[in-house]
Structure 1
């Protein structure tokens, strides 16, 4: 989906259409979760501080997140996917992989299926979607970003390596900003540069990810679309309007986060043996504290452990965000559930390569 959260807000608020808008935070506090395409023209993007976004665009509109609404529309979109295939792997509320090698409508063209799905999404929800089509997940994801917004692109098998050789390293799906900077320091600026390095060299520099980088630049990615996947944790967090300084303040504000975690535990039936406290300071430095117990803790024990972790050592700087979660779960495989947050602390034919 294109700028999903922001697009939903503009859909539901006609007076905001065509205007720069972000979801999450406010002018003085918080972080941008999603930015409309009008806002992006000002250099605003997800994970940017709200204060900086407001500085870049003084007439920027701030919308509070409404996850129930986003989930409602996401389910409508998911229903469209299942008209074509049961092999749907959701990545988030606004993105999914579909394997249409064999499909319910007996179409041999994945390009045509993608176009039909986008048209149905527009008809049913009023929102624009973009699609990428290729023979593996990595290339399909890469293609999906080529012609945004409201576009579609395909990378054919015989074109994949030549395409990847020209692709800037920062555009590779799964290569984040930090890794891209590390590669650029090694003289790796595009796929062709990456291709010059041996598997041994990449493994030495990037550990287990080295094999992944060695393969993807050659168009190799063997991961299948997985309609079920293992859930690793369950958590909730909150970004505060004002920094918290004292322990009583931190305890008071941790409790509603704990209550939200318990609500999600009871709703899902999930249990976990590890409790983790997440602390983000006013300077955006992040700290986590964890404790693992032998038996799955009940709600009272989770709260006690949360307090214990909070008091584990002195908190030297003001706190802007607290999070609490469980891991080491009592499940081996679980159908993907929609993620939730209390308050967002963070956040996007023309059928071929992008036109120049």
Structure 2
């Protein structure tokens, strides 16, 4: 048995969205499945391993995916189903360790350092987790094991799908020596280009230069690169990671200059964002509008409010104001709304003058009505489904 002073696991579900669709549609198993909708204007959310053989990958435009794999099964996403199975997976993980950090809907970190007395080895623990997840949800996953988080994430990508790979402390230096720097999480394409100009493509080559060199050249990013190339990662597995933002966006079925139509989409997105904020007890101060023109040029505009909010009408109205201030020079193909800059104190403060001003203009009263309306709509949708009721602004609005 090989022990680890610190044992971190990274679990990644295999082609999660596509695998769920194949699970729910047995006739699709063994066939290329691409999640992202039937419209050629969207992007690939997920591709089954059968589709990946043709070069299809997530974030690829659907129109390009159709050229590479025209015979694939194209389907919209079943987000509610994905969330349901994700919760079941996380429940399994929490039964193995009290320290689990959900990184996304289909991946998580597990601190297994204190579990040595329960299993003969970290590998045996990971094997048991994989089997229980398969027995519970009928899906496979891949697990990486390492002394630090970033190496565990890299290891989980080895031997996919249904993989298991362990990097022990004694092997860290040799593993990193020939590891391409592009494999390090957080090292993006632009950084790679700059590294290639220096003749650096592996972690071993990073260590040909001093830490001071990397700091002078790239600042904090340079220090992080040097540390990762040395196997240094002091981040711990956090059982709670504070949310930083929430957003909703969509690619339109047709490019448009019609602000009336765009405002209907803003209402739809504001409803989704607001409802999620209320569900988790969050409030943000910064509202962001995102547009993408038909030539794929992106444009964002933000406004920070004096007080945090999760009210749908407030999110919507701020987004509308931001849109009205923009002169659309080209047709729009994508629109989105986001909220960030959360209230971390848990206490909303309003000074005396603000209170008097709001009271005189009727804003406080209106906000109370909006909050009650949100509560009523949330309650109906939670009981009868999201399509059970809609706002008047969306009357006759067809998302399809």
Q: TM-score, normalising length from structure 1?
A: 0.89
Alignment of 1:167 with 2:179, yes or no, is yes
Alignment of 1:328 with 2:355, yes or no, is no
Q: What's the counterpart of residue 28 of structure 1?
A: 40
Q: Could you report, residue by residue, the CA deviation over 1:5-41 in whole angstroms, capped at 9, with x for unpaired residues?
A: 0011011111111111111132522000111101111
SS at match of 2:42: coil
Find 1:314's aligned residue among 327, 333, 336.
Answer: 327
- How many residues matched? 334
Q: How far 1:188 sits from its partner (Å)?
A: 1.2
> 2:270 touches 2:313 (CA, 8 Å); kept in 1?
no
Measure, in 1, the Cα distance between the counterparts of 2:317 and 2:142.
Answer: 46
Find 2:283's aligned residue among 235, 249, 271.
Answer: 271
Aligned CA distance change for structure 1 residues 286 and 203 (closer, same or farther; 3 Å):
farther
The answer to which structure has the higher helix fraction is 2
Find 2:75's aligned residue among 60, 63, 75.
Answer: 63
SS at match of 1:229: coil
Q: Could you report, residue by residue, the CA deviation over 1:45-65 in whole angstroms, capped at 9, with x for unpaired residues?
A: 001000000001110111110
Q: What's the counterpart of residue 230 of structure 1?
A: 242
Higher relative contact order (CA 8 A, sep 6+): 1
Alignment of structure 1 residues 169-184 onto 2, 5 Å = 169-184=181-196
Measure, in 2, the Cα distance between the counterparts of 1:194 and 1:186.
Answer: 10
> 2:266 touches 2:316 (CA, 8 Å); kept in 1?
no
Q: What's the counterpart of residue 189 of structure 1?
A: 201
Alignment of 1:40 with 2:52, yes or no, is yes
SS at match of 1:328: strand
SS at match of 1:293: strand
Measure, in 2, the Cα distance between the counterparts of 1:21 and 1:206.
Answer: 41
Q: How far 1:191 sits from its partner (Å)?
A: 1.3
| Structure 2 residues without counterparts, runs of 5 or longer | 1-12, 347-385, 387-400
Aligned CA distance change for structure 1 residues 200 and 318 (closer, same or farther; 3 Å):
farther
SS at match of 1:296: strand
SS at match of 2:330: coil
Q: How far 1:108 sits from its partner (Å)?
A: 5.0
Measure, in 1, the Cα distance between the counterparts of 2:258 and 2:193.
Answer: 38
Q: How far 1:121 sits from its partner (Å)?
A: 1.1
Q: What's the counterpart of residue 157 of structure 1?
A: 169
Q: Could you report, residue by residue, the CA deviation over 1:41-96 in whole angstroms, capped at 9, with x for unpaired residues?
A: 10110010000000011101111101111111111111111111110001111100
Q: How far 1:184 sits from its partner (Å)?
A: 1.9
Alignment of structure 1 residues 70-219 onto 2, 5 Å = 70-103=82-115, 106-219=118-231
Larger radius of gyration: 2
> 2:35 touches 2:74 (CA, 8 Å); kept in 1?
yes
Aligned CA distance change for structure 1 residues 82 and 249 (closer, same or farther; 3 Å):
same
Find 1:304's aligned residue among 313, 317, 321.
Answer: 317
Q: What's the counterpart of residue 380 of structure 2?
A: none
Q: TM-score, normalising length from structure 2?
A: 0.80
> 1:271 touches 1:296 (CA, 8 Å); kept in 2?
yes
Measure, in 1, the Cα distance between the counterparts of 2:328 and 2:172.
Answer: 50
